[in-house]
Chains A and B, each alone.
Chain A
Amino acid sequence: MGKLYNAIFSAGIALVLACLMIGVKLDTDGTTLKVHGASPEQWSWIIGGIALVFLSQLFADQIDAAFGKIPKPNLSNLIPEGDKMVRLKPWLLAGVFVCMVIWPFLVSRGSVDLATLALIYIMLGLGLNIVVGLAGLLDLGYVAFYAVGAYTYALLSQYFGLSFWVCLPISAGMAALFGFLLGFPVLRLRGDYLAIVTLGFGEIIRILLNNWTAVTGGPNGISGIDKPSLFGLEFSRRPSEGGTTFHEFFGIDYSSTYKVIFLYLIAVVLVAFVIYVINRLMRMPIGRAWEALREDEIACRSLGLNRTAIKLSAFTIGASTAGFAGSFFAARQGFISPESFTFIESAIILAIVVLGGMGSQIGIILAAIVMTILPELAREFSEYRMLLFGLTMVLMMRWRPQGLVPMKRPVLELK
């Protein structure tokens, strides 16, 4: 009986929620505001929705049971353990890498471009993972460092004509510098205070970029940013003055797909580099210290670890990764403006880290791919796209609160 009551109650709530939002529409008639009722079609949708809520509440147990029968995919079990892993790992990595390199030649240009975008988010996710997942510092303004990286490359390329490859380390350095400068005073703040300060910092950087028209072009952004070259070979249709193009050098026909594939391959290499560096760092004392600090700050201090230095290193390294991703983003876009670096971008990167299972690199890579491809797949739903995206975020969190691939710490047990 309680069940029925519950179901009626939920349906009632759904009715109230739907009636005054979907059921009526504000419209202007001339210059006066009018309220219209919904069309019969909309009402049938509302009634359908309410019926769904009613039934799902009424049969909640049965549905749960049915869902319980579907085995929850435990992705982390797919990864072999122990000795087997040690033997397999180099082969596995090599295999993945080779697939990543061959793959773009087999698929369409749009997919390669999308994969490049996914790789940018993988870089961002991995970078933020150091700050949030490993060091446990909540950063809501990560996009600021991404912007710093992008603008560093764009400005250096525009004013001094420096090439992508020279700017890449400089961008990472600049972003790291900003991370350091911000981190130094604010890292003594606790969790959520740190979150809002970083959020504020992200907004400050964006507004400054938007207002400093003389240098950054303000809202006009910077356009015509050079694309990366391969040892001086350009990927354009016609060579710039004194330059050689890739297709002329190799004597093949021009195809713009080369450029897309080339950008993709750069992204693959950058991601591989970032993964390598982070993996090394995680095994070094500094990486252990990050995790130790996250787990118990007081114990760390008692053991003589310098709290500020550890937090600052995580913050700086995380920022430099964003700088990397930023300069690559600028190269891929060819045009940047402050509106690419809004708060929602930070939120999506954070969602990637959390959805992936904080700390777990494989999880983050998967999550970044999901979060990039999902809105593209949802293009079919046109205006319902973002609605579904938001809903999926909520449902994913309910479905796997621990993330897609929860992090596994190496455990030693005495037998």
Chain B
Amino acid sequence: MSETLLYLIQQLINGLTIGSTYALIAIGYTMVYGIIGMINFAHGEVYMIGSYISFIVIAGLLGMGMVSLPLILFIALVIAVLIASTYGWTVERVAYRPLRGTNRLIPLISAIGMSIFLQNYVVLSQGSRDVALPPMISGGWTFGDPSLFEVSFSYMQLFIWVATFITMLGLTLFISRSRMGRACRACSEDLGMTNLLGVDTNRVIAMTFIIGAALAAIAGLLLSLYYGVVNPFIGFMAGLKAFTAAVLGGIGSIPGAVLGGLILGVTEALTAAYFPSEYKDVVAFSLLILILLFRPSGLLGKPEVEKV
């Protein structure tokens, strides 16, 4: 294999890894949007809180002398998902539910306020410094010709891919098979009608927030293991990127969010690979604008039918 090809493969691996985490966060945006048509700006902060909780649990368990890595990760996952879901649920209850039925910009502002609040809440309780964990899962495979270019694919990257895949599979099954999933789909078709048919839509909406937050917490755990660093400001940028991914794929569509996340991640990696890396956000946003010009509802979004 030539050196150029090996380099491209390496960058694709990098892009898909970061893309899958965008996808996990993007699903939270897209589900909430699909059901109540609202951009949940505080979602990025829930991801940040999920990362912090994972850190706290991992550090706590290590401090107690636990050594079994799978067990630590499993406990961290369960607690992070539970707590982040509680946050997601509370945010919905406090900041959005009282505003249901108002102009759709009102919850948006409330969400921005919530996002500022949560960020500073974590700054005040945990400090604004980076906290870091030593690498938990290290090592990986390398292939390619050492004299040309050596491609590395770490276990951690594989772990992220697998975890993302399993999560997506679980979510798809949940949405398509379970009773609650059916209710979710019904709500996204027509909220008012679903309500009339006797489904407790408030519960469904709360559930959506809980699922979104749980996925964000999974992303938080994966990324905090991958990068090993967390600070209270990571939520904002991650939220922005994930939101972009959701829109790119067609907001409201779950496969769209995944596709959008992967495309965004790969675009960023390739831009950084072949151009000065300071332009990667410019290219990512320009790509978004271009795609929307040709497909105004995103890649997999349903074209809006105008009705009188």
Contact = CB atoms under 8 A, between A and B. Distances in A.
B39 interface: yes
A392 B102 CA distance: 18
B59 A35 contact: yes
Contacts of B115: 390
A97 to B, nearest CB: 31
A88 interface: no
A398 B107 CA distance: 9
B47 interface: no
Contact of A207 (B120, B281, B298): B281
Interface stretch (A16-24, A160-168, A237-245, A270-278): A16-24
B122 interface: yes
B112 A193 contact: no
Interface in A5-41: 13, 16-17, 20-22, 24-28, 31-35
Nearest to A38: B125
Contacts of A393: 109-110, 112-113, 116-117
B288 A200 contact: yes
B52 A21 contact: yes
Given A192-B39, A347-B112, A17 B63 contact: no
A204 B308 CA distance: 36
Interface in A116-147: 132, 138
A402 interface: yes
A200 B285 contact: yes
Interface stretch (B10-18, B82-90, B178-186, B194-202): B82-90
B248 to A, nearest CB: 9
A26 B126 contact: yes
Contacts of B251: 192-193
B99 A401 contact: yes
A21 B122 CA distance: 7
Contacts of A402: 102-103
B90 A389 contact: no
Contacts of B119: 386, 390
A33 B83 CA distance: 21
Interface string B212-249: 00000000000000000000000000001001100100
B161 interface: no
A195 interface: yes
Contact of B109 (A190, A193, A199, A350): A350
Interface in A391-414: 391-394, 396-398, 401-402
Nearest to B288: A200
Given A32-B134, A394-B94, A387 B121 contact: yes
A204 B90 contact: no
Q: Which of A24, A192, A402 has the most CB of B within 10 A?
A: A192
B163 interface: no
Nearest to B80: A20
Interface string B150-188: 000000000000000000000000000000000000000
A35 B121 contact: no
Interface stretch (A74-82, A150-158, A181-189, A253-261): A181-189
Contacts of B109: 350-351, 354-355, 393, 397
A247 B297 CA distance: 61
Interface string B293-308: 1001110000010101
B296 A189 contact: yes
Given A26-B55, A393-B109, A203 B281 contact: yes
A386 B122 contact: no
B282 interface: yes
A250 B109 CA distance: 49
Nearest to A188: B296
A392 B123 CA distance: 18
Given A25-B126, A193-B292, A204 B285 contact: yes
A394 B114 contact: yes
Interface of A: 13, 16-17, 20-22, 24-28, 31-35, 132, 138, 185-186, 188-193, 195-197, 199-201, 203-204, 207-208, 210-211, 297-299, 343, 347, 350-351, 354-355, 358, 383-384, 386-387, 389-394, 396-398, 401-402
9 contacts: A21-B125, A22-B125, A25-B125, A33-B55, A192-B33, A195-B39, A196-B292, A207-B282, A390-B114
Interface of B: 33, 39, 49, 52-53, 55-56, 59-60, 62-63, 79, 83, 86-87, 89-90, 94-95, 98-99, 102-110, 112-127, 131-134, 240, 243-244, 247, 251, 278-279, 281-282, 285-286, 288-289, 292-293, 296-298, 304, 306, 308
